[in-house]
Structure 1
């Protein structure tokens, strides 16, 4: 489908941004409507969450040593200057690690919990009129495509994260502007990752869904940034993941010009 043919919403960019964020809230509403299904969706997120929390905790534990390792030129500086530089370096490493962890967590969790999240996504589609243009995709074929696309997205996130990591060394800017940009970048990649299931159901791969989301980028960013911020809260990624899948299905339908209001 040509993204340029999708009707642009009449509201401004800010309104579309908050409309996208509101899709996550609507996804959270499924905890009331389908509590058993949503609770099952927490299980794979919990498994993945334990692994990623352990990995990030390891990074936090060794971050001082890593910061010292990449700044050997500061060994002869005054104690204050050396410590300030290495604190900034440590924060930059944690920022890059957090960005990669959030996107990677989503990719891994979607693979682990594919049957659960597919069911959640299908339930949302049924509630709003079904899946126009759906195609039958064998499970293993779908899994291979999902893995390949997820690897590409994580690699792209890493490439984008490197300049942000370097910018993190800039005093003040690195601790104020860069985190905001990081949230926007992470939010975009999360949105692209999470809408995978509804797009695969329609026979669309990564380039197509990326192109279609760009047609209403503010809404995609609003949704993705809301999810990204929730994922930064302790246990947020585990508890919000099923709702994020549900909200992403609504985002996909909105981006494709399909109804997201119950009839």
Structure 2
């Protein structure tokens, strides 16, 4: 009896390692969801935080420039497209490459509604979300990555990670303070709910993958934060709609 073999990988996806051995980075999840949805065969190489820059440098990855002309930081996601021997870094650039190289099924990279939802999600929810997730993220990292994460994040924030983690009562108050905003953003996600669970209805867009990636990352870091967000229908609808494309997570 013939055995079914997996198709040969066309993509190598460089991902951020954690002790759970599966994807938890929201930025990488956006690309992983797109790869899974388009059924592009790929394999994953997980990198610890301190290994990202030296590994990508050795591979000859060009990090590009920031808007002010300085060199961008080496980061994941990065992909190696094996058929063309092309390396691409950053979720937006990778998404554009995947959509042009593998146009079916279509994944709209942007829309007026999608841009509005992404902007509101970042501006209205981002700070509270970050305050709950960032100091907890260190718990799922290896000792080497913990040291790197603590050193870089504390330098950026100007305080120990432990000081960023609020007491339960204050954290609860912060989430309650944005309840109306969460409901409003969630409802905007349901604009086309008659056609399907996604922002534009029946088919996912890159905005859906952006949102689902953030939610899956939260779930990996702290189930409580994940539950806080997915109690709102719009967020929950998109997450559930994207779940079929989360099966390959390593």
Is the TM value for this pair above 0.5? Answer: no
TM-score by length of structure 1 reads 0.27
TM-score by length of structure 2 reads 0.28
Q: Which has the higher contact order (CA 8 A, sep 6+)?
A: 1
Report which of the two structures shows the higher radius of gyration computed on alpha carbons: 1
More helix by share: 1
